[in-house]
Structures are given as C-alpha cells and as structure tokens.
Structure 1
Amino acid sequence: MASLDWLIVAVASFTVFQIMFHCLSARISVFFCKGYRTLTDIQKTEWNSRVVSTFHALVVGILCLYLLWFDDAVNADPLWGEPALVKLNVGLTAGYLISDLLLILWYWKAIGDIYFIIHHLTALYAYYYVLGQGLLPYFANFRLIAEFSTPFVNQRWFFEALCYPKTSRPNIINGFLMVMVFFLVRIAVMPPYYNKMISTFGTEAFYNLGLRAQIAWIVASVCLDAMNLMWMYKIGKGCYKVLLACKKQRADVQENGKQR
C-alpha cells in the first residue's frame, strides 16, 4: 500500500468516525435504547464517544485476527513482511486515534483523560513506522488484538450511565466477560509478544530497522503495556468490590429470611 493509499484510508477513517460521533450515534442509540434520552449532555458526549470506540474495536479486531491467521507474508517475516493489509488496519486505527484525540481535547470536561492522550500519542508514534516505512507489520497488527476488550469496558459504562445496579445480572455477566477478555487480549498476550520481539534481537532484519525504529518499537510497547497493567489492576479492584457487594447482598437476603 503506497503512502497516498494509507493516507486516504486514515482520512476516510477519521471522517467516518467523526460522522458517527456527531450524527449517527445519537440516532442509533435512541432507536435501540430509550434511556439515552434521559442522559445529561455530558453523559451523551461520553456515550457517543464510546459507541464510536466500540465500532472501531470490532472492525479492527476482526481484521487483526484475519491477518494473524491468514497473512503468511507478515507472519513469516514479522519485521519486514509485506505490510499492505496491515497498513489498511493500522490506517483505520490511526484515523480513529486522531479523531478521538480531537474529541477528547474539544470535550475535555466530559471525556478528558490524560492516560488516553498518552496512549493515543504513543500508538500514533509507533504506527508512523508501519505506515510511513512499512516496518514491524506483525507486531503492529498484534497490538490491535487488545481492542477486543474495549466493547466490554464500554458496556460497563453504558450500564452505569443507565443506572443499572452493580449487582444486577447483566452487569455481573458483562463484568466477568470484561475481566476475562481484558486479561486474555492485553495481559496474557504479553509473554508471546515479548518472546517474539526478543527472538528478533541480533538478527540482520533487526539491525536494518535502525536505532530510531528500534527505540520507538520497544519504548511504545513497554509504555502501552504499563498502562494495560494499570488498567487491569483497576478493573480487578472494581470486580472485587462488586463481588463483595454481591456477597453482602446475599447475606442480607438470608438474614431477612431468617427474621421472617
């Protein structure tokens, strides 16, 4: 994929996600969820942002798996394999990240988060080497498998905005899936990812990357995974609190039953 091609993909991606945020999300949400009308303006802003986030996660996540399973050229040469399809996926993500960055800055009071700013800028910096120079296609695509946890994280926020009790069955089921999927696609994948990375050290292909690309690759990976570990800790802590609340609720029900 030529430079102009991936640039067109990124611009198209940016445009589509902006249209989804400003025009489509509210209409779709009102149709499928009557509770959307009861939200405050700040909540609607974050809701629309998370709808866009979920759509992006599903599209690039599915394409990511396809490439990991069927793109033989990239899997055979993770540093220099033919990156055409990977550039398509990364271009879609780059457009989304830029779109989301602008929304975060514009609606800072509603969705501002310094960690998302760091995450987006770090990812864009690393993706420059994929899109601009065609380097590291396998590893760039592999990182996108993490997007499969995003729909569950967003659904947790949707339930909270709609005032679902934390101990309600939909919340508990989604919470369980969120913890499990987040761990699988963001934490459990770290050993194979870094094992694959380390296996390239010292090879001619690794030296041909150049020092700047090597540093960008390693630093971006460590930075993103440090945030993943932090988020995993927060999610696990929240899950533990919900389990305690459920246990207390059951104990209260049993106690009330005995008193009767």
Structure 2
Amino acid sequence: MEMFSPLVLSITAISFVTFQCLFHFVSPWISAQFCPGYHRLGPRHTIEWNSRTVSTVHAMIVGLFCIYILLFDDAVNEDPVWGNPSLVKKNVAITCGYLLSDMLLICFYWQAIGDKFFVIHHLAALYAYYYVLSIGMLPYFANFRLVAELSTPCVNQRWFFEVLGYPKKSLPNMVNGIAMTASFFMVRIAVMPLYYSRMYAVYGTEPFYRVAFGGRCAWIGPSFCLDIMNIMWMHKMARGCISVLRSPGKVKVGMLQNGKVH
C-alpha cells in the first residue's frame, strides 16, 4: 500500500477539523446573525441548513482551486496521467477532509440528513482519491471532476429558499433557478467533450498502462455512470426551469411568511 505524504495527511486533517467547526459553530452563528428565518427552523432543518452551508463553502474553495489548476498548472495539463500532482493533491486532500467530515455528520445525525446513497458516493470518491493522493496518478482527471462542485452553491441555495418559504415564482428563486441550471450545464455537461477527448487521447498509451487496474476502474467506470446521471439531472432541471418560466402568474419579490408575500 502506498503511503500518504505528511503534507497530504495534514491538509486532510485540517480540512476535517475546519469543516466540523464550520458546521457546529460558524454556520449557526452567521446564519442567526444574517438570516432571521434561521431561528424559525426546526431541529432537522437546522442540521441540514448547517450541512448545506458547509457544502457551499467547500464547493467554492475547491471549485475555484480547480479552475486555477486548469488554467495555470502546465505540468498537469500537459501530462494528464502522470503530471506533477502537487497542487491537485492539496485540492483533493481538502475534499477528502470534507468527505470524512460530512460522513461523520451524516452518521451522527442520521435521522435528519442520513442518506445511504451519499455514504456510498463519499466512500467511492475516497477510494478514487486514494490513488491520486498516494500514487499521484490521473491528476488532470481528478481535478477536472472537482470542477463540477461549482454547481453546488446554487443547488444548496434552492433548498435555502424553499425551507425559508420563498415562492417558486419569487424573483430570488427564479434568478437562482436560472443560475443553477446554467452553472450545472457549464460545469457538468458542456465540459464532457473536453474530458472524454483527453481520456480517449491517453487510452492505450504507455502512461495509461502504468495506471494500476484499480485506478482505471475508479476512473473510467464511475466517469460514465456519473455523466449518465448528470445528463438525466440536467434534463429534469431544464424542464423544471422552463416550466416555472412559462407558468402563468406574477413574479413576486420577497419571502412567504404566514401565508403572505413580503
């Protein structure tokens, strides 16, 4: 078994502790200060609110780091299989810390946010990231996959609006819905040709055959499965967005409280 570097382990541990602190202390305090509706949430919604806040923070940090690597890390872009993975390892380590933190919260608050599919997803992701963090292979593809996190903030914001009682036809909800659909398309659908063209370019080459069999399984199979689901979600999301935009009714500004729009 390959060993993880002390730096990778340190970043993962710091990430884990940081996201735990965000969930237990930072999110409740900031949410109570700047969102009056937070006080009216029940215990289950409060837990999920804090979990989604942490998810949004993680997505923004990791997603922007991914964009920087794609634009400026020449070593990874020139050799997508075995290029210098130092920056990618740091980003993946942050994500691994988040995944471990989120799994702990899911298990501890199972009645509120428990979801076996999320646990399976997190375990599968950790398995795939093991090869990146320990062996350093496939840095380009691991980083490229994390770009999809940039669609997460709008997805979480949709839930925030829903639990706060914003009508579907409210202006904030509609703006976020359009942004959610557009961001999901850009970072999960529109990038597919580039991703699979790079995969096709390295398939069967000498660097490809240096990748362990387990690494190939963790790379190719899940990529196809995930993108099939992304296409299905995109179709559903686009239909929902078009349906709301076409539905009759006046656009409302504000939040629904006690049956009244404010």
TM-score strictly above 0.5: yes
The alpha carbon displacement at 1:109 in A equals 2.3
Distance apart, 1:228 and its partner CA: 2.3
Structure 1 residues 184-193 or 89-98, which shifts more? 184-193
Match of 2:258 in 1: none
TM-score, length of structure 2 as denominator length: 0.90
Structure 2 CA distance for partners of 1:249 and 1:43, relative to 1, 3 Å: same
Partner residue, 2:105: 103
Superposed displacement of residue 212, structure 1: 1.9
Gap change, CA 1:100 and 1:227, over 3 Å in 2? farther
Once the two structures are TM-superposed, the CA of residue 27 in structure 1 deviates from its matched residue by 0.2
Match of 2:129 among 121, 127, 130: 127
Q: 1:84 aligns with which of 86, 89, 107?
A: 86
TM-superposition CA deviations, 1:45-72 (whole Å, max 9, x none): 1100010000001101111111101111
d(CA) in 2 for partners of 1:190, 1:105: 33
Instruction: Using the aligned pairs only, state the percent identity.
Output: 58
Structure 1 residue identity aligned to 2:171:
R
The residue that corresponds to 1:20 in the other structure is 22
Which of 22, 40, 43 is matched with 1:41 structurally? Answer: 43
SS of aligned partner of 1:249: coil
Give, in whole Å, the separation in 2 of the partners of 1:225 and 1:140: 14
Structure 2 residue ranges without an equivalent (≥5): 251-262
Q: Is the 8 A contact 1:126 1:220 kept in 2?
A: no
The answer to whether 1:150 aligns with 2:152 is yes
2:203 to 201, 204, 217: 201
Shift of 1:112: 2.3
2:220 is aligned, of 218, 221, 229, to 218
Q: CA deviation at 1:188?
A: 1.4
RMSD between aligned residues? 1.6
Mapped contact 2:4–2:134 kept (Cα < 8 A): no
Q: Structure 2 matches for 1:4-19, cutoff 5 A? A: 4-19=6-21
Deviations 1:127-161 (A, max 9, x none): 11100110001111111110110110011000001
Cα deviation 1:159-212 (Å, max 9, x = unaligned): 001100010000000000000100110111112111111110111100111322
Match of 2:249 in 1: 249
8 Å CA contact retained: 1:122, 1:224: no
Question: Alignment length, in residue pairs?
Answer: 248
Cα displacement (A) at 1:221:
1.5
1:236 maps to 238
Structure that is richer in helix per residue: 1
**C-alpha distance in structure 2 between counterparts of 1:164 and 1:182, whole Å:** 22
Letter in 1 for 2:121: H
